[in-house]
Copies of this chain bind each other. A is one copy, B any other.
Amino acid sequence: MAVSHEYPENLDPRVEALVTEVIGRVADKWTMIVLEVLTEHGELRFSRLAQLAEGISQKMLTQTLRQMERDGLVIRTIHPVIPPKVEYRLTDLGFTLSEAFCGVWAWAAHNVDRIAEARRSFDSRNGN
């Protein structure tokens, strides 16, 4: 804590744009939650994932999983049985992203109270 940190420097503005695009794609609530759930539980089927990712709609879950698969974050395995069984698990790449985001979760969990307090303070300073 309070240790300095440095952001990666991109000399090439095109690369920087790509990095920003990746950030925009990946820094999304549902992506983070799916990442967390898959990290905690390992391989999961679609329906189980839908339960564990509290509040997600089927559409958003499908969409999120497709994007993550496309970006090489998850592997989708179709078991040719009836009824269909499809399982999702993280790739190594997905796992490393999960590690990175884990720090953000920890930060959030550690600071919920300070944030709530800051909000109360801000709201009372400015007309309720």
Tell me if A26 counts as interface (CB < 8 A to partner B). Answer: yes
Closest 10 CB pairs of A and B: A72-B118, A8-B109, A100-B103, A70-B122, A100-B107, A22-B108, A24-B29, A100-B104, A5-B102, A5-B99
A112–B8 Cα distance when bound, in Å, is 12
Among A13-21, A44-52, A81-89, the stretch that binds chain B is A13-21
Tell me if A32 counts as interface (CB < 8 A to partner B). Answer: yes
Looking at the assembled complex, report how far the CB atom of A52 sits from the nearest CB atom of chain B, in whole angstroms. Answer: 12
B111 in contact with A93 (CB, 8 Å): yes
A16–B80 Cα distance when bound, in Å, is 37
Q: Which residues of the partner chain B approach A121 to less than 8 Å between Cβ atoms?
A: 72
